[in-house]
């Protein structure tokens, strides 16, 4: 629908592990959007900076957490490539910060740019000269075709089918509501608010599942956030090193975020694990003090997968019991270290307390490490962190539309709860249906009318 008037954003460096990444935004809301997500180091106001200045600071998410350290170029129209206000955010390379920043621009009101759209705007706003016009048309065509092909390819199979199914479900609700509205005197089985609510909830769950699997898809691309926890001196650092082994794949250094941290990635049979708080693991290893429960809770809340390490030789003490309580029913494994020594821990007791699978290892003697890796792999691939999910929904645009679609249904459900009239609920359901349609490229109102007449016997 929006061709020129809204603000668009895109990643403008090749996606991958290049040193520097750039997200670029153009449109009259660019400045408004960057202000919402940019914390300037100097503490000065964004507006106080002159045009065409480069500003140093941090990109923060909606909760105020720092996402990355960046340089922001402020370029106000009309002397820009597109003649509109343009904001360029230079951040650390690598897919994670770039994608996160792009997502934040979306959350704050930008729309993802279509292929060739920056160039198109440049042209439409009079930036390019006449002779370039034909070339621009060609670019739009070829890029649109290519992206079309790509999206068609992506949409083949499950995602497209799933979304069509969900849309059909929504259409059925819509048809019931609409037939009831347009033919009030006919004995159509009208859906009660309760039934609409029930069916809408089911559909919303389906959409949320897709979003969840897509988030998992991203997890797999970016690494499953893994916490290694345990008492000081239990062997966390050694375990980390043992797992890293030769497969030490990627080390990204992100300076100036919360504090200097090093993120380690471990590749377990193709599944990347991103170890959280490695610095903490190494630091506490040398301390002979109690673990900070608050700190542990914080780490656990960030993680998708947990490795709890216990000392088989020493047995379970109060601290371990506290940890077992914290990890209970979470996704992860308990590893009992020092299996080569005399054991004071009963495997059964650990399982009872944690509801997790337990594996016995000796890091020192390199016993059971392969088994641990296999169990990590099995545990992840058998859980709802579905590795296929990545293939299903990976496109940020799609994820955004799914989220908007789910949000519309949430509004609808709230409307039903508040007792709002059915034609208002219908607005939300229609909206949700439209958003899904945008993913698969179908949004035609006539569908509803067709559905009404095919489903109901109405008319004079």
Query: With binding defined as CB under 8 A, does residue 187 bind other proteins?
Result: yes
Q: Which of 53, 192, 287, 453 is close enough to bind other proteins by CB under 8 A?
A: 453
> In angstroms, what is the minimal distance from the CB of 28 to other proteins?
12
> In angstroms, what is the minimal distance from the CB of 335 to other proteins?
52
Using CB under 8 A as the binding rule, the residues of this chain from 414 to 433 that contact other proteins are: 415, 418-424, 427
The span of 76-84, 201-209, 258-266, 449-457 binding other proteins (CB under 8 A) equals 449-457
Q: Are 38 and 57 in contact (CB under 8 A)?
A: yes
Query: With binding defined as CB under 8 A, does residue 403 bind other proteins?
Result: no
> In angstroms, what is the minimal distance from the CB of 142 to other proteins?
10
Helical pair 193-222 and 422-440, crossing angle rounded to 10 deg = 30
Using CB under 8 A as the binding rule, the residues of this chain from 229 to 248 that contact other proteins are: none
Q: Are 188 and 367 in contact (CB under 8 A)?
A: no
The span of 25-33, 121-129, 341-349, 384-392 binding other proteins (CB under 8 A) equals 121-129
List the one residue out of 240, 234, 271 whose CA is nearest residue 374. 271
Query: With binding defined as CB under 8 A, does residue 195 bind other proteins?
Result: no
> In angstroms, what is the minimal distance from the CB of 433 to other proteins?
12
Sign of CA dihedral 416, 421, 423, 424: negative
Query: With binding defined as CB under 8 A, does residue 377 bind other proteins?
Result: no
Q: Which of 46, 186, 377, 390 is close enough to bind other proteins by CB under 8 A?
A: 186
Work out the number of other CB atoms within 10 angstroms of the CB of residue 287.
10
In what side-by-side order are the strands of the sheet with 332-337? 251-254, 261-268, 271-275, 224-229, 305-311, 332-337, 357-360
Q: Which of 15, 20, 137, 249 is close enough to bind other proteins by CB under 8 A?
A: 137
Q: Which is nearer to other proteins, 3 or 17 (CB)?
A: 3
Q: Which is nearer to other proteins, 280 or 412 (CB)?
A: 412
Query: With binding defined as CB under 8 A, does residue 352 bind other proteins?
Result: no
- State both tokens at 52: 């065409």
Q: Measure the CA–CA gap between 40 and 59, rounded to whole angstroms.
A: 9
Query: With binding defined as CB under 8 A, does residue 130 bind other proteins?
Result: yes
Instruction: Return phi, psi of residue 429, to 5°.
Output: -65, -40
The span of 3-11, 49-57, 317-325, 356-364 binding other proteins (CB under 8 A) equals 3-11
Query: With binding defined as CB under 8 A, does residue 448 bind other proteins?
Result: yes
> In angstroms, what is the minimal distance from the CB of 14 to other proteins?
24
Q: Which of 63, 185, 194, 253 is close enough to bind other proteins by CB under 8 A?
A: 185
> In angstroms, what is the minimal distance from the CB of 459 to other proteins?
4
The span of 9-17, 231-239, 284-292, 439-447 binding other proteins (CB under 8 A) equals 439-447
> In angstroms, what is the minimal distance from the CB of 283 to other proteins?
49
The span of 240-248, 268-276, 297-305, 411-419 binding other proteins (CB under 8 A) equals 411-419
Query: With binding defined as CB under 8 A, does residue 262 bind other proteins?
Result: no
> In angstroms, what is the minimal distance from the CB of 403 to other proteins?
17
The span of 98-106, 175-183, 349-357, 360-368 binding other proteins (CB under 8 A) equals 175-183
Query: With binding defined as CB under 8 A, does residue 5 bind other proteins?
Result: yes
Query: With binding defined as CB under 8 A, does residue 250 bind other proteins?
Result: no
The span of 141-149, 290-298, 354-362, 374-382 binding other proteins (CB under 8 A) equals 141-149
In a 10 Å sphere around its CB, with 0-12 CB exposed, 13-18 middle and 19+ buried, how is residue 270 labelled? exposed
Q: Which of 120, 176, 373, 403 is close enough to bind other proteins by CB under 8 A?
A: 120
Interface residues toward other proteins, by CB under 8 A: 1-5, 114, 120, 123-124, 126, 130, 133-134, 136-138, 140-141, 144, 148, 178, 180-187, 415, 418-424, 427, 444-446, 448-449, 452-453, 457-460
């Amino acid at each position: 629908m929006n061709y020129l008037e809204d603000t668009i954003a895109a990643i403008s460096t090749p996606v991958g592990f290049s040193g520097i990444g750039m997200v670029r935004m153009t449109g009259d809301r660019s400045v408004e959007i960057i202000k919402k997500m940019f914390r300037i180091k100097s503490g000065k106001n964004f507006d106080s900076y002159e045009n065409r200045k480069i500003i140093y600071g941090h990109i923060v998410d909606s909760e105020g957490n720092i996402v990355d350290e960046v340089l922001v170029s402020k370029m106000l129209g009309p002397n820009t490539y597109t003649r509109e206000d343009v904001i360029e955010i230079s951040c650390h390379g690598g897919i994670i910060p770039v994608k996160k920043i792009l997502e934040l621009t979306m959350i704050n009101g930008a729309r993802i740019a279509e292929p060739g759209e920056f160039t198109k705007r440049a042209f439409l706003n009079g930036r390019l000269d006449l002779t370039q016009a034909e070339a621009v048309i060609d670019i739009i065509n070829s890029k649109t075709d290519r992206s079309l092909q790509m999206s068609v390819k992506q949409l083949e199979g499950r995602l497209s089918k799933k979304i069509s199914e969900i849309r059909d479900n929504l259409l059925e609700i819509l048809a019931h509501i609409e037939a009831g509205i347009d033919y009030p005197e006919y004995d159509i089985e009208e859906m009660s608010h309760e039934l609409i609510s029930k069916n809408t909830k089911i559909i919303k769950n389906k959409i949320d599942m897709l979003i969840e699997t897509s988030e998992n898809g991203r997890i797999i691309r970016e690494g499953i956030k893994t916490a290694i926890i345990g008492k000081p001196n239990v062997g966390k650092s050694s375990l980390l090193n043992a797992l890293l082994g030769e497969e030490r794949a990627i080390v990204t250094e992100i300076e100036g975020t919360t504090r200097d941290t090093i993120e380690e990635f471990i590749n377990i049979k193709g599944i990347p694990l991103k170890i959280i708080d490695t610095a903490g693991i190494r630091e506490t290893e040398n301390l002979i003090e109690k673990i900070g429960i608050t700190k542990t809770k914080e780490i656990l809340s960030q993680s998708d997968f947990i490795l709890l390490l216990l000392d088989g030789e020493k047995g379970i003490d109060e601290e371990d019991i506290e940890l077992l309580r914290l990890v209970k029913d979470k996704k992860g494994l308990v590893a009992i270290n020092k299996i080569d020594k005399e054991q004071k821990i009963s495997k059964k007791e650990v399982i009872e307390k944690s509801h997790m699978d337990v594996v016995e290892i000796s890091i020192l003697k390199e016993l059971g490490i392969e088994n641990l890796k296999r169990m990590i792999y099995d545990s992840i691939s058998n859980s709802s962190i579905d590795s296929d999910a990545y293939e299903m929904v990976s496109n940020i645009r799609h994820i955004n539309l799914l989220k908007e679609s789910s949000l519309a249904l949430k509004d609808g459900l709230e409307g039903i709860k508040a007792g709002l009239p059915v034609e208002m609920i219908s607005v939300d359901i229609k909206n949700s249906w439209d958003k899904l349609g945008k993913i698969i490229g179908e949004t035609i109102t006539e569908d509803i009318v067709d559905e009404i007449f095919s489903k109901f016997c109405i008319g004079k």
